Amino acid sequence: VYTPYKGVRLTAKGREAAARVVRRHRIAERLLADIVGVEWEKCHEEACKLEHALSDEVADKLAATLKNPATCPHGNVIPPPTGEIRDDGSKPLLEFSPPLRVRVVKIVRESRNLLRRLAAMGILPGVELKIVKRAPFNGPILVDLDGFQVALSGDIAKSIMVIPVVDGA
């Protein structure tokens, strides 16, 4: 639906169709990473080629074979067959300030180069980071990963979705 000066938005039917494509894509990523053995940074691009070839029925059977994974390899939620996409509560790393421990939930920009760099640094879903220092505005953020400090650009930090770690959790 187009609204002048406000752009477009999907109808309910459009959101359902989009969620089904997202579901097929993320299930294809899981298949490629978990069964076929495609590298973490390559499975997004390969899944783009498969998502439109899979029917919803085949995607559901693949999901069952994969034991109904909750997320893609990059941590993004796989929508249920009903189509609703729920918020996982994560926020961009760039929105947090030191000192704070956070857990990586997902990587939202799935470019091959970015995924390769993050994997080489050990920044993957489930990993805990400590925010050490943050430059103002959209500047770099310094994080500690098991004693190894890494400076991430503001652009990269916006792509890493995290949640604060509560002591004892």
- In this predicted model, which residue has the larger pLDDT, 144 or 14? 144
- Retrieve residue 94's tokens: 């760039």
2-65 CATH fold = Diphtheria Toxin Repressor; domain 2 (1.10.60)
* Tokens of residue 78, six digits: 């796989």
Asked if residues 93 and 152 have their Cβ atoms less than 8 Å apart, the reply is: yes
β-sheet with 128-134: strand ranges across: 91-92, 160-164, 100-107, 128-134, 141-145, 148-152
**Mean pLDDT highest for which of 8-22, 45-59, 71-85?**
45-59
- Please state the φ and ψ torsions of residue 94, each to the nearest 5 degrees: -60, -20
Check residue 33 and give its pLDDT.
97
Residue limits of CATH 1.10.60.10 in the chain: 2-65
pLDDT tens sequence across 150-159: 999 999 999 9
Give the H/E segment covering residue 103: strand 100-107
Q: Given this model, what pLDDT does residue 138 score?
A: 82
Answer whether residue 3 shows pLDDT above 90: no
- Model pLDDT, residue 129: 97
d(CA 106, CA 147): 22
> Is the pLDDT higher at 101 or at 5?
101
The interaxial angle of helices 43-50 and 112-121, nearest 10 deg, is 140
Checking if the pLDDT of 77 tops 70, the result is: yes
Sign of CA dihedral 40, 42, 46, 51: positive
pTM of the model: 0.85
Where are the domain boundaries for CATH 2.30.30.90 in the chain?
Answer: 91-164
| 91-164 CATH | 2.30.30.90
